[in-house]
Amino acid sequence: MSVTFAQGFSAAGVAAGISSVEGKKDLALVVNNGPLDAAAGVFTSNRFCAAPVQWSRKVVADGHVKAVILNSGGANACTGEAGYAQSVATAETVAGLIGAEPNDVAVCSTGLIGELLPLDNVLAGAKSAHEALAATAEAGTDASHAIMTTDTKPKTVELTGSNGWKIGGMVKGSGMIAPQLATMLCVITTDAVVSAGQMQAALAVAAEHSFNRIDVDGCMSTNDTVLLLASGASGIEPDKDEFNKLVREACASLSRQIIGDGEGASHDIRITVTGATSEDAALACGRAVAASNLLKCAISGNDPNWGRIVSSLGTVPPEVAPYDSNKVTVDVNGVRICENGGAGRDRSEVDMTPREVHIDIDLNTGSDAEATVWTDDLTHEYVHINADYES
């Protein structure tokens, strides 16, 4: 379903011979059939950002996007002017096929860094994808498969507003996932009648509270891209608050699915920090805990090791997050194993069998700001994937 759930969008996913995996679908095309072509986007802040990111950032800047072409099998990052020329050529080809300007076509790539794409395959694949375009559920599903790399399953979302307008979306991402976006490509579509400015505002807030608060492995990618496209095909102008809410829900669902499919993960870890003096303080604490390899190993061994939680918390400078270490409590899966900065109930009381692990940290500053971040545990399988997968 994914991006074709909203009216006014057609999609396709084809095998274009870009991926080294024989026969894998590796090229997706999403076309906005209008009547609107409003668009918003957020991109990686990595200074080695890929050619398609440099291109698409310019494309989205004017608030108009008619199509997005996405490939797995190659990131086209650190490829210099030749790589940029490939992104431009890809956009030009798609523009010719759909009768648009190149500047209305966004390009996304994911895969190995540092190598040019097999451009002939990409351009031939664009033609195949254009021929396969359909507004069906199956076409949306094909597109969501074509962007997968180490993902083990496609990740999609479908939401419906109170008076019938819709949001659909797809994302890929599994490793090189860190706050400030992830190695992820995400396309969200809506048939609501909304302006590009409204979309950009909604997307920025939604991404900040979702994609920017997940961390599989602390590594920020060169290619992260989140696009939001509106066709207006429903003819419905949604309530602004509801629109913001559903965009946020869509991003939350997709980012949660990334964590659920984190490379090699056996536990999804939700870290909520409460009782902080500010949301930024809570977030800094949550991120410090989420970044602890030692804790992530302990969780993979089903050990709710609160010592590794508080020792990570203790690395956050006081000026960033004021708190008294003697007042901190930590609950894991509902059991208060750390009380007043020291041992609480015995850690053997914690049931670690569920895949989802909840770490609730109360800083007890007297204020009530809070933040939640998600991460994965660190497993043998993660090391295996990343020691043996060239990317």
Where do contacts with a second copy occur on this chain (CB under 8 A)? Answer: 45-49, 75, 77-80, 83, 112-115, 175-176, 178, 180, 217-222, 291-294, 297-298, 300-301, 303, 305-308, 310-316, 318, 325-326, 338, 340-343, 378-380, 382-388, 390-391
Shortest Cβ 139–a second copy spacing (Å): 32
Shortest Cβ 385–a second copy spacing (Å): 8
Tabulate helix, strand, coil % of the chain (nearest 5). Answer: 35, 25, 40
Cα separation, 7 vs 27, in Å, equals 22
Token pair in block for residue 208: 């900040």
> Which residues 6+ apart lie within 8 Å of 259 measured at CB?
214, 216, 265, 268, 374, 375, 376
Shortest Cβ 359–a second copy spacing (Å): 15
Binding site annotation covers 391?
yes
Our CB check for a second copy shows the closer of 166 and 308 to be 308
Our CB check for a second copy shows the closer of 342 and 354 to be 342
Shortest Cβ 213–a second copy spacing (Å): 16
> Is 183 a known active-site residue?
yes
Token pair in block for residue 67: 């199509």
Shortest Cβ 301–a second copy spacing (Å): 3
Listing DSSP states for 66-117 in one string gives: SEEEEESSB---S-HHHHHHHHHHHHHHHHHHHT--GGGEEEEEBS-TT---
Q: Which candidate in 4, 110, 150, 183 is catalytic?
A: 183
Our CB check for a second copy shows the closer of 80 and 99 to be 80
Dihedral, CA atoms, 203, 205, 207, 209, nearest 10 degrees?
Answer: -150
Binding site annotation covers 327?
no
| Count of other CB atoms within 10 angstroms of residue 21 | 13
Binding site annotation covers 183?
yes
Tell me whether the omega of the peptide bond preceding residue 35 falls within 30 degrees of 0, making it cis: yes
Our CB check for a second copy shows the closer of 164 and 342 to be 342
Binding site annotation covers 325?
no
Shortest Cβ 272–a second copy spacing (Å): 19
Q: How many CA atoms lie within 13 A of 343 on its CB side?
A: 5
Our CB check for a second copy shows the closer of 98 and 290 to be 290
What stretches of the chain adopt beta strand conformation (E)? 9-14, 27-32, 38-43, 67-71, 105-109, 155-160, 166-172, 185-190, 214-215, 225-230, 268-276, 329-332, 335-339, 342-343, 356-362, 369-376
Burial label, 131 (beta-carbon count in 10 A; 0-12, 13-18, 19+)? exposed
Binding site annotation covers 155?
no
b (16+ CB within 10 A) / e for 361-374: bbbbbebebbbbbb
Our CB check for a second copy shows the closer of 99 and 326 to be 326
Shortest Cβ 106–a second copy spacing (Å): 21
Our CB check for a second copy shows the closer of 152 and 315 to be 315
Binding site, annotated residues: 149, 172, 183, 263, 386, 391
Residue numbers belonging to the annotated binding site for substrate: 149, 172, 183, 263, 386, 391
- So which residues are the catalytic ones? 183
